[in-house]
Structure 1
Amino acid sequence: MEGMPVLGLAWVLCMITAQAYAQYYSQSVPYESLPEKTTNLHFFFHDTLGGKNPSAVLVARPNVTEGPSVAPFGSIFALDDPLTAGPELTSGVIGNAQGLYVSSSQDIPSLVAYFDFGFTTGEFNGSSICVFSRNPITNTERELAVVGGRGKFRLARGFAQLKTYFLNASNGDAIVEYNVTVIHY
């Protein structure tokens, strides 16, 4: 029992020292000192809802929605779509888009898209960009916001210009051309 005060004192000193060295940050670097880059990307997004091996699947549909639409208001889809260098799947897969989209309009077909475009080949292998934006799918040309990224696209921002290349209105299959301008560090 005589060693208890010494042990207690040692424990208190250990705790004080641990707090002094437990920092959750490191040296800050001025934001302006990082070299800003602009990268232009071009690829095709293949969204397949039909067939035996769809790349996008319906995960929720409200029971109050009626009608023949492939994606009635309130429907939620999960996707793992291939990205290719050209409009054909045989042109070479360069990555995939994973995420969700929600049918978000009662009048004009429109989606809110939450996608991560992960690149698996070339200079940007292992990097990705993220988009989160409204996508009025009946417009032939439209724009999504790039809101982030990882790997070589850390701190990304920018925009993606979309153009429908192919659409099967009966089952919802689509091929969309993407021209993306990414500003990153």
Structure 2
Amino acid sequence: MNNRRMKNGILLLLLLFVLTLISLGHAHYSLGKEKVTHLRFFYQENLNGDHPTTVLVAKPKGTTVNASNLAPFGAVSVLDTPLTEGQDPNSKVVGQAQGLSVSVGQDKPMSVFMVDFGFTSGEFNGSSISVLSRNPILETDRELAIVGGRGKFRMARGFVNLHRNYINVTSGVVIVEHNVTVFHYE
């Protein structure tokens, strides 16, 4: 009797597995054709002044934050930073980067960057790209992983190549060029 129950259980699991595969296959086909989109924009960070775009919200007890130690290990910052068409801070705003950054580097500054690049104009207005990646913040050139999106970027995956174009530690201004390659469905 136990052998029969075991066989029925195995058959039931196999049936559920096959049904899951079939449903996943149908879901894939209903997404439409996959396409690749290339985007370029500039991240305009301002750490100081009357309207900072990135704010430190938590830091380890006993640590100080200053020009030589902007991101001590364990620090958490939130951000709401404009994305612009050009490097000039007065160029057209095409979106906002909103999220948080956690300092995870004990020996050298490194962060885990969790951010949503939400677009507010153009073809992708109302859509966004989600990034979750390690970010070696002192390197001029680096790459971040795209792990999802919404709107026209639903089910997105891809990467963002960053190039720091400008930094002024005294004023707290950082301008980073973002070249995005995103795979998504039409």
Q: Name the structure 2 match of 1:125.
A: 125
Q: Distance in 2 between matches of 1:98 and 1:66?
A: 25
Are the equivalent residues in 2 in contact too, given 1:102–1:111 (CA < 8 A)? Answer: yes
Q: What RMSD over aligned residues (CA atoms) do the two structures have, in Å?
A: 1.6
Q: Structure 2: which amino acid aligns with 1:96?
A: Q
CA deviation after TM superposition for structure 1 residue 53, in Å:
0.7
Percent identity, aligned pairs only? 55
Q: Distance in 2 between matches of 1:86 and 1:119?
A: 15
CA deviation after TM superposition for structure 1 residue 65, in Å:
2.7
Q: Where does the alignment leave 5 or more consecutive residues of structure 1 unmatched? A: 1-26
SS of 2:90's equivalent in the other structure is helix
Are the equivalent residues in 2 in contact too, given 1:44–1:85 (CA < 8 A)? Answer: yes
> TM-score of the superposition, structure 1-length normalised?
0.81
SS of 1:74's equivalent in the other structure is coil
Q: Name the structure 2 match of 1:31.
A: 28
Q: Structure 2: which amino acid aligns with 1:125?
A: N
Query: Cα deviation per residue 1:108-154 (whole Å; 9 max; x = unaligned)?
Result: 11111000000000000000000000000111100000000000000
Q: Name the structure 2 match of 1:49.
A: 47
Q: Where does the alignment leave 5 or more consecutive residues of structure 2 unmatched? A: 1-22
Q: Distance in 2 between matches of 1:114 and 1:171?
A: 24
Highest CA radius of gyration, 1 or 2?
A: 1
Q: Distance in 1 between matches of 2:134 and 2:56?
A: 19
Greater than 4 Å deviation, 4+ residue runs = none
Q: Distance in 2 between matches of 1:171 and 1:107?
A: 25
> TM-score of the superposition, structure 2-length normalised?
0.81
Q: Distance in 2 between matches of 1:40 and 1:53?
A: 31
CA deviation after TM superposition for structure 1 residue 89, in Å:
1.8
Cα 1:60–1:135 shift into 2, 3 Å: same
Q: Name the structure 2 match of 1:14.
A: none
Are the equivalent residues in 2 in contact too, given 1:65–1:73 (CA < 8 A)? Answer: no
